[in-house]
C-alpha cells in the first residue's frame, strides 16, 4: 500500500515516453494529457504518420500542450532511444521474446531504481492499431504487459500511457533517494549498443551469415535481441568491437 | 510488487461501479470498456442525462456491450446503492469531509477484503463536468482520490474508472481467499442506513432542528456523513430507530 496517497513531488526525473509511429494526432494529444497527469513530461515521437507539429494533437492536449511543445521527433527508433540507458517496450501479447516481461508496477519499480542510479530510462509505445513490431521490441531491454482481462484486452494508446505513468508516480512517491547505492558501473548507452549491433550485422552480412534470405530479417532481429538483453558496459562494447575486427582481419590475412 | 503479472482469474466478485448522473453516452461506453479490461462487469447508472438505453454508449462500448446490457438504471443514488454494504466515492479534490480518503490502491485493497468477507462493495463515479456533489459523497463510507499531478489533474470519467478497475484486478490477483477469516458480523446494508438517516432527518425536521433554513441542507449532509461513516450492524440500526422513537414519544407525552 502506498505510504502516501497525497502528491509528494518526486526527486527523480521521469522516464522518456517514446511514441513509435503514432497515427492519429488526437491520440498523441491524449497521451500527452495522460502523461502530465502523473508528472511524466518527456515525450519523443518516432515517424508520426501525419507529420509534426500536428494541430489535432495540439487541440486534444489542451492543458498539456507544453508536453507536445517539448516533444522531440525522430525518423528512426534507434535515434529516439540514442541516449537511453535502459528501455522498456509496452506490448499487449507475449511475443515469446527472450527478455523480461514486467507488469507496469514492476517495470516502474525497476525504472525508479535505474533512474536513482543516474541512468536514463525510456518506455516505448507502439502505433494504435498494430502495436510495436518485433524489430522495435528487439531494441528494448525488457517488456511491459498490462495484466488485462484476457477475454477483453482493449487498452488504447492513451490508456496504456496512463497506467504506466500512474505506476511511475506510485513507485516514485515511495522510493527513497538511492544516492548511497549509486552504481559506479559505466553502462553503455543505447546508441553504443546500437552501433555494436550494426557493426556485427554488417560484418555478418558480408560473411553471408544471414542465409537463407527468407530468414535474414528474423535472424537479425534475434541478434539485436541478444545485444539489448545483455547488460553491456562501455568497455564490453569496445572489447566486442575489437573482437569482431580481429576476427575479420585474421580471416582476410588467412585468405591471402 | 505483484507476484503475478499474468492474468489469473480472481475468485472474488468485482465491485459494482455506479455512474452518477453521467452525461455523454460516449463516456458511459468508454467506462464500460475500461471496466471490462479489468474484469469489472457490474455497472449501475443513476439518472443518465440522455436516458437509457443510449445508442452512443452502445457504439462506443463495442466489445464491452454486455456490460451496458447488464447495466441497472436507477432514479436516485440511494436506490442504486441499496444493497451495497460498503461504498466508495471517487473525488478529485479533498472536500474536507470527515471520512477516510484512500488512494485507488488502498481502496481496492479494502474492497477486496470486504468482498472476501461476503460484503457487497460499490464505487461511485460522478458526472463528467462537476463530479460528485457533497450530498452524493455523504452516502459513501470512504472516498477515493487518484494521486495525480496537482499542477495538471485532468482525469476523465473513463480514466478514473480504468485506474480503479486496474487496482481492483491488481489487488485481487494477490489476495488469498479469506474464507477462514469470514467475518460473522451482520452489517447493515446501505438501504437500512439510508432509512435510519431518513427517520432521524424527518423527526429532527419536525423538531425544528435544521435551523436556520440557510444551513439546513449542509446540516442534513453532515448528518448523513455521520451515519455512513459508522460501521453499523443491523442490530445497531434497530437500536437507533428505537432510541429515536422513544425520545419522540417521551417528548410528546411530557408535552401533555
Supply the CATH number for residue A42's domain.
3.40.1280.10
Enumerate the H helices of chain A as residue ranges: 25-37, 55-61, 65-69, 77-80, 104-116, 134-137, 157-172, 190-206, 213-229, 234-255
Whether residues B49 and B168 fall in one domain: yes
Please check whether residue A182 lies inside any domain of the structure: no
Of A5, A37, A145, the CB nearest to B5: A145
| Residues of chain A found within 8 Å of residue B2, distances taken between Cβ atoms | 103, 105-106, 147
pLDDT, greater one: A250 or A101: A101
User: Chain-wide mean pLDDT for chain A?
Assistant: 85
| Residues of chain B found within 8 Å of residue A150, distances taken between Cβ atoms | 7
Please check whether residue B6 lies inside any domain of the structure: no
Q: How confident is the model at residue A120 (pLDDT cuts 50, 70, 90)?
A: very high
In the predicted model, is pLDDT for residue A28 greater than 90? Answer: yes
The per-residue pLDDT for A4 is 43
The per-residue pLDDT for B256 is 47
B7 with A148: Cβ contact below 8 A: yes
* Number of domains within chain A: 2
**Domain final residue, candidates A139, A172, A205:** A172
Enumerate the β-bridge partners of residue A73: A45
Copy the grid coordinates of residue B110.
479494502
Is the Cβ of B3 closer than 8 Å to some Cβ of chain A? Answer: no
Whether residues A136 and A243 fall in one domain: no
B163 with A162: Cβ contact below 8 A: yes
Of B147, B162, B169, the CB nearest to A5: B147
Please check whether residue B9 lies inside any domain of the structure: no
Distance of CA A189 to the CA centre of its chain: 12
Complex-level ipTM beyond the 0.90 threshold: no
B36 with A103: Cβ contact below 8 A: no
B64 with A153: Cβ contact below 8 A: no
Mean pLDDT of A55-68: 96
User: How many beta carbons lie within 10 A of that of residue B51, not counting itself?
Assistant: 9
Please check whether residue B183 lies inside any domain of the structure: no
Mean pLDDT of A212-226: 85
Distance CA B70, CA B36 (A): 12
The per-residue pLDDT for B98 is 63
Whether residues A219 and A108 fall in one domain: no
Confirm if A45 and A22 have CB atoms less than 8 A apart.
yes
A86-103 residue pLDDT tens: 999 999 866 566 678 899
Is the Cβ of B37 closer than 8 Å to some Cβ of chain A? Answer: yes
CA distance B125 to chain A (A): 18
pTM of the complete model: 0.79
Whether residues B110 and B199 fall in one domain: no
| Residues of chain B found within 8 Å of residue A162, distances taken between Cβ atoms | 159, 162-163
A37 with B155: Cβ contact below 8 A: yes
Pairing verdict, β A121-125 and B16-20:
unpaired
The per-residue pLDDT for B145 is 92
Whether residues B158 and B32 fall in one domain: yes
Please check whether residue B8 lies inside any domain of the structure: no
Distance CA A89, CA A91 (A): 6
A158-208 residue pLDDT tens: 999 999 999 999 999 754 333 333 345 677 888 888 899 999 898 888 888
Please check whether residue B167 lies inside any domain of the structure: yes
| Residues of chain B found within 8 Å of residue A38, distances taken between Cβ atoms | 148-149
Whether residues B164 and B121 fall in one domain: yes
* Residue whose grid cell is 436516485: B76
**Domain final residue, candidates A127, A144, A172:** A172
CA distance B236 to chain A (A): 32
Please check whether residue A6 lies inside any domain of the structure: no
Distances (CA, A) of B79 to B15, B83, B202: 16, 8, 19
Whether residues B134 and B242 fall in one domain: no
Please check whether residue B207 lies inside any domain of the structure: yes
**Which structural domain range is residue B216 located in?**
190-254
Whether residues B45 and B166 fall in one domain: yes
List the pLDDT tens digit at each of the 256 positions of chain B.
Answer: 344 444 444 479 999 999 999 999 999 999 999 999 999 999 999 999 999 999 999 999 989 999 999 999 999 999 999 999 999 999 986 656 667 889 999 999 999 999 999 999 999 999 998 899 988 998 898 999 999 998 999 899 999 999 999 999 999 975 433 333 334 567 788 888 889 999 989 888 888 888 889 989 988 887 887 777 666 788 888 888 887 887 777 655 555 4
User: String of b and e for A67-101 (b: at least 16 CB within 10 Å)?
Assistant: bbeebeebeebbebbbebbbbbbbbeeebebebbb
| Residues of chain B found within 8 Å of residue A64, distances taken between Cβ atoms | 152, 154
Whether residues B136 and B53 fall in one domain: yes
Of A7, A106, A148, the CB nearest to B1: A106
| Residues of chain B found within 8 Å of residue A103, distances taken between Cβ atoms | 1-2, 5, 170
Of A145, A147, A173, the CB nearest to B173: A147
Whether residues B114 and B32 fall in one domain: yes
CA distance A39 to chain B (A): 6
Whether residues A47 and A153 fall in one domain: yes
Which residues are within 8 A (CB) of A54 and not within 5 positions of it... i.e. 6 or more apart?
A25, A28, A48
Of B6, B36, B162, the CB nearest to A159: B162
CA distance A94 to chain B (A): 10
Is the Cβ of B109 closer than 8 Å to some Cβ of chain A? Answer: yes
Q: Give the rounded percent of residues in chain A with a pLDDT score beyond 70.
A: 85
**Domain final residue, candidates B142, B172, B202:** B172
In residues, how long is chain A?
256
Whether residues B33 and B147 fall in one domain: yes
The per-residue pLDDT for A203 is 84
In the predicted model, is pLDDT for residue A109 greater than 80? Answer: yes
| Residues of chain B found within 8 Å of residue A155, distances taken between Cβ atoms | 37
Amino acid at each position: 500500500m502506498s505510504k502516501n496517497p497525497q502528491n509528494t513531488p518526486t526527486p527523480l526525473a521521469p522516464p522518456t515516453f517514446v511514441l513509435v509511429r503514432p497515427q492519429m494526432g488526437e491520440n498523441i494529444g491524449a497521451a500527452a494529457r495522460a502523461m502530465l497527469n502523473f508528472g511524466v513530461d518527456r515525450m519523443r515521437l518516432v515517424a508520426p504518420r501525419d507529420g509534426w507539429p500536428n494541430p489535432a494533437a495540439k487541440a486534444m492536449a489542451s492543458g498539456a500542450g507544453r508536453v507536445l511543445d517539448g516533444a522531440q521527433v525522430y525518423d528512426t527508433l534507434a535515434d529516439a532511444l540514442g541516449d537511453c540507458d535502459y528501455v522498456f517496450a509496452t506490448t499487449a501479447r507475449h511475443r515469446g521474446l527472450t527478455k523480461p516481461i514486467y507488469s507496469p508496477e514492476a517495470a516502474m519499480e525497476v525504472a525508479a531504481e535505474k533512474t536513482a542510479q543516474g541512468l536514463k530510462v525510456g518506455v516505448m509505445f507502439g502505433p494504435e492499431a498494430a502495436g510495436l513490431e518485433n524489430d522495435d521490441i528487439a531494441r528494448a531491454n525488457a517488456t511491459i504487459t498490462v495484466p488485462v482481462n484476457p477475454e477483453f484486452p482493449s487498452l488504447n494508446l492513451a490508456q496504456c500511457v496512463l497506467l504506466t505513468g500512474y505506476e511511475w508516480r506510485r513507485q516514485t512517491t515511495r522510493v527513497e533517494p538511492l544516492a548511497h547505492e549509486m552504481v559506479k558501473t559505466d553502462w553503455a548507452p543505447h546508441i553504443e549498443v546500437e552501433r555494436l549491433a550494426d557493426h556485427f550485422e554488417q560484418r555478418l552480412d558480408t560473411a553471408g551469415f544471414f542465409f537463407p534470405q527468407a530468414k535474414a530479417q528474423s535472424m537479425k532481429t534475434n541478434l539485436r535481441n541478444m545485444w539489448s538483453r545483455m547488460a553491456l558496459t562501455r568497455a564490453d562494447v569496445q572489447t566486442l568491437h575489437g573482437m569482431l575486427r580481429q576476427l575479420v582481419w585474421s580471416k582476410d590475412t588467412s585468405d591471402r
